[in-house]
Amino acid sequence: MVMMERVTPPPQRAGTRKVAAYARISMETDRTPKSLSAQISHYSELIQSTPGWEYAGVFADSGISGTTTNRPQFQSMLDCARTGEIDLILTKSISRFARNTVDLLETIRELKTLGVEVRFEKENISTFSADGELVLTLLASFAQAESEQISQNVKWRVRKGFEQGKANGFHLYGYTDSADATDVEIVEAEAEVVRLVYRNYLANISCEQTAAQLEADGVRSRAGEPIRPETLRSWLRMETYTGTLTLGRWVKGRLGEHSKPNTGEADMYRVENAIPAIIDHETFQAVQEERTRRRSLGARANKAIPTTTFTHMVYCLACEKYYRSSVNVAYDGSRRRKWVCATNREKGHGCASKRIPQPSLEQVVCEALNLEAFNEDVFAKLVQRIDVPDSDTAIVVLKNGTTSTHTLHYPSYRKDHWNTPGYRERHSQKLRAYWANLTDEERATISKQRSKTRQAEPAEKKISRSNRAKAAWTPERRARQSEIAKRVNAQLGEEGRRERSRKAQQAIAADPSVAERKRRKMLDHWANPDYRASTTEAMKGSRRTTKVGE
């Protein structure tokens, strides 16, 4: 069934309209800045001289293609339109506004829903007119086709230049800029900086140290900013400094897409002795070999990074990444070093491996090398790497090619320290101080939360906790707990015990589920023959004690 409803056009704003204009040039030459300035002046004068129009600004982008909407001033104009600061946008032509049909229509439709009109002077089109979008679609398609044809022509010219050994623009620190690299000259002051970077690298001086040295000497980039270590590392792999150019390393995809590395989509050209060399081939090759050697060492090759014995030595086979160090501070101030897979260290999750304590790794090495005690020098001399296929296994790979498999052990620091003299007492004092600072309401809230948590636990966990409690309830523990209860009751006195009993009865009366849980718990206990026997024996002993006392 056909449904029809009446719709109303966008409301016409009464009174003053806030008007803005957009201008754009896609290439920066000696002439185009004047063209852009003329457009800005034209629209500024037009808007301010028209009655009923309020000047909302002129937005202009220079040197940016219209095939993308990633234009700073264009996006600023859209933001102003979204906040209601613009009612009307003037622009010279469709090609100035956008050369991508899809982007143009999406932007126009968004502005139209905001009640913002766009007028194209050259085509004499308004987006609020009845046939405005249809005409815009046709003309925008022509503009996009024209842009694509221009792009193909430019690509053809660039490829022909590559075949003749000419670059598509040349800009590199140490050389003068050039349109095709045929007239490049060395900038000696900058070239000396490049040579220093290569000398320092071969002298085992890190790029971080070299960058600090350049900063101390006042050496800056052409933009006036400090030269970063990442920039220096990129210089070390640039064969261009030997005078050799590799043309066609990047290819452009479809219209509006960014360039991407050439992986066989187009031909590449290698031109030797194309420009003057700053670095000789022997030095460049020596640096590449040193880079390869340092990559094999990982973090241990960078003197600026603090390393330990097992740095870049423990390898996770599941993630194909090395373990990293993590240090925890214990209760007594001691530092415990553990090793974590890089995946978990970076993301916090993703790898099923556990944190491996360093003593466990040392034990594995001692087993593999038949050592009584771990020795760093012997480890560095004989061991190539430790592979970890899962959380329980470690494979020690020696430099002679032999391997041995071992079991990883994870010591329980809590259990070990629980029997340390004074540890239990300190822990007990800490707990007493914590509970002493709580109010009755806070204690009740914590108790309820703990009860809810335990009720929601799976049956296996409840059974496990019950078994642990039974195993821990030794005669010595019962006697100690009995002494504590007697001491607490003596401190409370008769009145305190009555008050405690009264509060317990109130809690049961306020929440019948508490009484029901206690009843079920008692039935569960009484169903256990051992519990009945021990309770009966305790009652008999209590009666005997009472008779003797009488």
In this structure, are 205 and 294 located in the same domain?
A: yes
**Could you read off the pLDDT of 188-216 as tens digits, one per residue?**
999 999 999 999 999 988 888 899 999 99
Domain end call among 387, 407, 427? 407
Domain end call among 356, 391, 407? 407
**Could you read off the pLDDT of 216-225 as tens digits, one per residue?**
999 999 888 9
Q: Which stretch of 31-40, 136-145, 521-530 has the lowest confidence by average pLDDT?
A: 136-145
Stretch 50-59: mean pLDDT: 92
Closest CA to 365 of 348, 347, 349, 377: 377
Is there a domain that residue 450 lies in?
A: no
Q: Categorize the per-residue pLDDT at 31 as very low, low, confident or very high, splitting at 50, 70 and 90.
A: very low
Closest CA to 190 of 231, 247, 237: 231
Q: CA dihedral defined by 226, 228, 234, 236, rounded to 10 degrees?
A: 80
Looking at the predicted structure, is the pLDDT value of residue 145 above 80?
no
Report which secondary-structure segment, H or E, holds 508: helix 475-510
Pairing of strands 245-247, 383-390: unpaired
Max CA pair span of the chain? 120
Is there a domain that residue 240 lies in?
A: yes
**Could you read off the pLDDT of 375-398 as tens digits, one per residue?**
989 998 999 899 999 989 999 999
Helix pair 512-526, 529-549: axis angle to 10 deg? 90
In this structure, are 140 and 21 located in the same domain?
A: yes
Is there a domain that residue 132 lies in?
A: yes
In this structure, are 253 and 341 located in the same domain?
A: no
Residue 251's domain is classified under what CATH number? 3.90.1750.20
Does the predicted model carry a pTM greater than 0.75? no
Domain end call among 358, 385, 407? 407
In this structure, are 350 and 330 located in the same domain?
A: yes
Is there a domain that residue 365 lies in?
A: yes
How far CA 518 is from CA of 504, 508, 509, 511, 514, in Å, comes to 12, 9, 13, 12, 6
In this structure, are 218 and 332 located in the same domain?
A: no
In this structure, are 88 and 181 located in the same domain?
A: no
Is there a domain that residue 115 lies in?
A: yes
Is there a domain that residue 161 lies in?
A: no
In this structure, are 273 and 391 located in the same domain?
A: no
Residue 133's domain is classified under what CATH number? 3.40.50.1390
Tally of residues, the chain: 550
Q: Which stretch of 138-152, 241-255, 277-291 has the lowest confidence by average pLDDT?
A: 138-152
Stretch 387-411: mean pLDDT: 91
Q: Are 281 and 242 in contact (CB under 8 A)?
A: yes
In this structure, are 351 and 263 located in the same domain?
A: no
Is there a domain that residue 370 lies in?
A: yes
How far CA 334 is from CA of 306, 327, 330, in Å, comes to 20, 10, 5
In this structure, are 132 and 25 located in the same domain?
A: yes
In this structure, are 272 and 187 located in the same domain?
A: yes
Domain that holds residue 238: 175-298
Look at 60 and 540; give whichever has higher pLDDT: 60
**Alpha carbons 338 and 360: distance in angstroms, whole number:** 9
Closest CA to 143 of 38, 24, 19: 24
In the chain, how many domains are there?
Answer: 3
In this structure, are 326 and 382 located in the same domain?
A: yes
Q: Categorize the per-residue pLDDT at 232 as very low, low, confident or very high, splitting at 50, 70 and 90.
A: very high
Is there a domain that residue 445 lies in?
A: no
pLDDT value at position 141? 66
Which tokens belong to 235? Answer: 């210089």
**Alpha carbons 356 and 323: distance in angstroms, whole number:** 9
pLDDT value at position 182? 81
pLDDT value at position 34? 64
The three-state secondary structure class of 394 is strand
In this structure, are 256 and 320 located in the same domain?
A: no
**Could you read off the pLDDT of 326-335 as tens digits, one per residue?**
888 766 667 8
**Alpha carbons 129 and 415: distance in angstroms, whole number:** 81
